[in-house]
Amino acid sequence: MAALQKSIDKRNSLIKATIGLVNNNGFHATPMSKIAKMAKVSPATIYLYFENKQDLVNQTYIEVKAAYTNYAFATYHKNMSVEQGFEIIWKRIADFKLKDSENAMFLAQCDNTPMIDETSRQEGIKHLEPLLELWNRGIEEGIIKPISEYLLYAYAINPLSFLMMSAQRSAFTLDTTHIEEAYVAAWNSIRVIK
Amino acid sequence: MAALQKSIDKRNSLIKATIGLVNNNGFHATPMSKIAKMAKVSPATIYLYFENKQDLVNQTYIEVKAAYTNYAFATYHKNMSVEQGFEIIWKRIADFKLKDSENAMFLAQCDNTPMIDETSRQEGIKHLEPLLELWNRGIEEGIIKPISEYLLYAYAINPLSFLMMSAQRSAFTLDTTHIEEAYVAAWNSIRVIK
DNA sequence: ACATAAAAAATGAACGTTCATTCTTTTTTT
DNA sequence: AAAAAAAGAATGAACGTTCATTTTTTATGT
């Protein structure tokens, strides 16, 4: 195998191990030694790919966040109507959180703890631009309530994280009916009701 | 001062120190030595009040959760209409999260990490009974959508946590206008729209 | 093609530090 | 004076990171 590919594989397996262990134990309860063991690598090798533990988790965060937003916006185009655009993006996000719940859980933990550097967090937010643009367009067209983007996000998108966490932790199982109901609730919370 | 009162004070200041330090640094990055220092107590003394670090944080969680739900349901009575009841509880919760953001942040972090024992988490959930009862009544009366309590919570209550965290972390400031807008969004997401 | 030497990558063991917890002594209360 | 509470110092384990060596890869000359 080409040396470059081997390097990429090793880095990927380190990132994957980090996600798995942090999900189960939290940042500070996952030692580098365990990450190394899970990735089948020596602890010292991690430091060839990452500066230190903080750098490893920052890079993991940015990478997972990029994969998430790529997936979310993959089928969206700027010439769609606001309703269409919102439904498509919302359902892609739901899809990601259901199917790729390992990654989704990791993002949720990062977004709710002081685990990630502030700069890396900012970097992650940047990727959400298309959604903010869509909302602004919706507000201009009188379709979406003229409220802060924080409120829009809180009611339209974030509840999906909560649902995913509930499904992970309790006996609650998220099926397609729930997703449709959740979509209706999301849309009703942010649209202008006449 | 009475010895009993002194004991209570010492325990309270340990719990307060725990909340402050965990909020800023996370569970595993707050050493017992720092908690002791902030509470003006010897590290050894902590072990007279709590079994170990995990027990300290579990008890802190349960105590804060109880204060939260007490506040949330203080002005609610079972003979209120569903609309009234929901508005009153919702706004009390908003009030708590705004005014007592230290405690609210602590709960948010506990609820989004593997920091708390599963049993303590369950214990915390119990206190929400009155709200679940209200929702069931709302569903029976055809006022609230007949969907899972997880969905109701995700759209009606949890967004407030997200908003509080955003306000803490970014330049975003939550004022009374936002709260009213958020309340309308919450209600529209869970009520039956005719 | 192949042997070989230089370079790079990877390793396991070791280091210094930090932490939760305990032990022994001192202080405070009864 | 006895008992209880509190203290600071000590302990052992675990951690992130680095160091000295070994293994693997790459480049070179035949």
Each residue's pLDDT expressed in tens, for chain B with a length of 194 residues: 566 677 888 999 999 999 999 999 998 899 999 999 999 999 999 999 999 999 999 999 999 999 999 999 999 999 999 999 999 999 999 999 999 999 999 999 898 888 888 899 988 889 999 999 999 999 999 999 999 999 999 999 999 999 999 998 888 899 999 999 999 999 999 999 98
- At B3 the pLDDT is 67
Beta bridge partners of A144: A191
Q: Tell whether B67 and B92 lie within a shared domain.
A: yes
Specify the number of domains making up chain A. 2
Q: Which residues of A touch B145 (CB under 8 A)?
A: 181, 185
A82 and A19, same domain (yes or no): no
Cβ-contact A143, B107 below 8 angstroms: no
Q: What is the CATH number of the domain that holds A17?
A: 1.10.10.60
What does the DSSP assignment read for B59-98?
HHHHHHHHHHHHHHHTT--TTS-HHHHHHHHHHHHHHHHH
Residues A99 and A165 in one domain: yes
- A33 & A59 share domain: no
What's the gap in Å between the CA of A42 and the closest CA on chain B? 24
Examine the domain organization and report whether A39 and A101 are in the same domain.
no
A43 beta carbon to strand D: under 7 Å: yes
Taking only the tens place, the pLDDT of each residue in A103-152 is 999 999 898 888 898 899 988 889 999 999 999 999 999 999 999 999 99
Question: Which DSSP symbol is given to A144?
Answer: B
For the stretch B97-142, pLDDT in tens is 999 999 999 999 898 888 888 899 988 889 999 999 999 999 999 9
Report the distance from CA of residue A65 to the C1' of nucleotide D23 in Å, as an integer.
Answer: 36
The CATH number of the domain where A140 resides is what? 1.10.357.10
Interface touch B109/A113, C-beta < 8 Å: yes
pLDDT of residue A2: 62
Please check whether residue B122 touches A, CB under 8 A. no
pLDDT (0 to 100) of residue A33: 97
Q: Are residues B79 and B12 in the same domain?
A: no
Domain that holds residue A101: 53-190
Shared domain check, A57 and A33: no
- Do residue B9 and residue B64 come from a single domain? no
Q: CA B111, CA B116: separation in Å to the nearest integer?
A: 8
Same domain, B73 and B145: yes
ipTM of the complex: 0.88
Per the prediction, chain A carries an average pLDDT of 94
Which positions 52-71 on chain B have a beta carbon less than 7 angstroms from any atom of strand D? none
**CA-CA distances (angstroms) from residue B6 to A155, B43, B171?**
45, 17, 40
Rounded to an integer, what distance in angstroms lies between the CA atom of residue B4 and that of residue A5?
67
Distance in Å from C21's C1' to B3's CA comes to 26
- Residue (of B155, B157, B179) closest to B167 by Cα position: B179
Task: Answer yes or no: do A74 and A26 share one domain.
Answer: no
- B-chain residue closest to A146, CA distance: B181
